[in-house]
A and B are shown apart, each in its own frame.
Chain A
Amino acid sequence: MIEILSAERCISCNQCVRICPTNVFQEVENDIPIIARQSDCQTCFMCELYCPVDALYVTPNADGIEKVEESAVIEDRLLGSYRESVGWGKGRKSTASDDESFLVFRIARATN
């Protein structure tokens, strides 16, 4: 579930408000957006990919709220880790071109 919207990093572009498929965020006039409906979060991680400044953190726990500290997440280099792994963002190259599913499927067939 979405747990962190970093006030320090957020630039109020409201991209998360626009792209969240379950409308979890809400725009606030003259301020940064808020996580308005946390329980509607479906833990799809899409907001992390579309946030240009890595201000969002979604825990992999889909069913429950889990308090996480921003400082700990930053220390573990997790803020923005998903965006980095798919190669989205300035100066990066999409890792879709490194997709080795074809190798995985081939070996899975041989294994089973």
Chain B
Amino acid sequence: MPLSVLHKKLLREALHLKGQLIAVALVVACGVMVFVSMSSVKESLVRSKDQYYSNYRFADVFLQVKRAPAYYRERVKAIPGVASLSTRLVYDVSLDIEGLDEPATGQFVSLPPNDGPILNDLFIRDGRRLSPTAHDEIIVSEAFAEANALEVGDEIHAILNGRKEAFRIVGIGLSPEYIYEVQSGAFFADNKRFGVFWVSQKALEAAFNMSGSFNNLVLTLTHDAVEAEVIRRLDDLFKPYGSLGAYGRSEHVSHQFISDEIKQFASMITVVPSIFLGVAIFLLNIILRRLVSTQRDIIAILKAFGYSNWQVGLHYLGFSLFPIALGGVLGTLLGAWGGAGLTDYYTIYFHFPSLDYVFRFNDAIMSVSLSALAAGFGSLSAVKQAIKLPPAEAMRPESPATFKAFWLEKLGLKHWVTVPWRIIVRNLERRWWKSTLSAIMIGFAVSIMISGRYMYDAMDHMMWVEFDLKHHEDLTLVFTEPLPKSVLYELQNLNGIRQVELVRTEPVRLRYKQRSRRMGITGLNPNSDLRPLIDSKLRLVPVPNSGLLLTTKLAEIIGAKPGDTLTVSFLHGQQRTHQVILSATIDEMFGLAAYMQKSLLDDLSGSKGAANSAILTIDYAQKDSLYAAFKDMPSVTGSIFLKAMKERFSDDITQSMIVTTTILTFFACTIAFAVVYNGARISLSERGRELASLRVLGLRKQEISVILLGEQAILTAFGIPIGFLLGTGLSAMMPAAYDSEIFRMPFILSSENFFFAFIVIVMVAIASGWIINQRLAHLDLIEVLKTRE
């Protein structure tokens, strides 16, 4: 079918407007890209997780005990709501890994001899499963193997219950229990120094004298089970066996990490594309309104020839199709590419048998449809204008613009403003709504950068507070079982130790009204040098003389506030229960914690002076001999190297910040460029004649550049502080979006963040202005003498 004449007009004129329409297309592409990539990454994570959980039978409820007899399996099975269960032995042990100076920690998990289905089953990436008869075989988690370059056939040494034993790696594996592989008590994964290992049940039974017993239980629930009820019954059942309290997936660390990550996508998927859509609506609106007003005579002719209002209206609506189509395709392609890249990036943190990128065509269709709807909305007023224009009136030129003195003049400030700047200011004021919106759009560009980089400001602050202000220790040694105070002197006598403090943590269940939570209460000395308690506002918080100090988040979870009385049930030792007042809360940014004076903890628990871990500062010159000593200490099951963890985390953060900043800068540049470029192009079209007249009157090129671009400069100058406000507002909403048990982000914005956004936007504005400025050279000075607009 040949193109109709109107279609040809549309095509040719769209080509003529290509610069402006491409700018809109880029804005649309950014919005579509964010939507497509984020929703596909989210979908990829959700699907991979769900498949993994279901194929490898991820448990619903978890329980660690000290030692329970094997026949308790049957009792657990009898609890209504329990669908299936696995009992296991799980121990943290100290490892000596070749090529790693410091001791690593391994979580050893037993595998039953028979090949029947177990919960939290293994996916074998490389090698094979354990042979039922060999007890020196081991399967190592993929993350640890990769971090330490371990392969099938290598040997590792572990200290099991005080005895050094050698294991041969026969497989590299993964389990849905450790999608995020983090050591308990650590903030982040440190795959080089913490890993999960699967060994035969017999080997662990023998090493820990656990024949006929288990210390770890995982189970799945039936569909109609009430999780809380099953947990309550498990706690009752295992109370005599040193239960640490059963818990559901919501308290499972790996599950928490991945669920929180998935949750965070929600805000990205809605907020960011909305901003882009808003900008696209605005731009299409100003472009098409200008087009319709320059084509008044053409509209008149079309109507005079008999084209209907609707044909004319649809013709102008057609212009918005180009940026939507181009932006939609480009955005979808970029979104699929970016989504695949981001999914790939997640494999560094989350370990799946396969994290396959899922591209959903529906997401693309949906975002393009939304963009089209937005474009229609943006074109609406211009199309209406074209439809409503009566042919006779359309033949006449638009009535001249009316201006009035601007408000500064009314304040008597006129003489401070030179004549060219009066032109600029009055033009801005005459279309104040358009000026305001333009400034807001530029503000959006600024706010995207600020709120996008907020995360890094917050992380930076969290790291600084956590690692530099609160945790002065170099490392933590975790003991196999509580040790008497004498361990302090033993440690102090080692060469290379500078400071040692013992830390005592007692597992408890905290209850307030209907809510309860498993937690460790940390007993603190009043004046700890290595671990002062500092809240998110950097205030030193003293440990109350009596009662409990909880992190604000923990208090919120159990619904208690200072002054309330909590029921504290100690899970170990004499298993006492006390009523303890919640004396105060502390707003900490990482994890959940409960603190009390160490002497009070001793009194309440009934077991005195024992320590579960020690925190140390060391002389790094003597680290080799120290690490060797730690590796040989039978009472040490693990060590947490805070400084190393911080470094690795900082590296990760820096890398991701560079990528994110690049993308955000691109987004912001696209918006700012599209707004400034279109604004200046439209000004040039509206006022080309005026500017050419000024050139005829003898004004130099740079003098009329000032008049044309001064407007954009003012809009940018107003847009930047608006962006600072919007960015601050958006960032202020983030702490709520990122409020989880794992971490809470403080509301912190650095001056560098503002400065960077400022520089980027100013540069883009200058570049866009420069491009427009090139067009000023081609102003037709002769034409203006002849024609009236």
Are A and B associated in one complex? no
Which A residues contact B (CB, under 8 angstroms)?
none
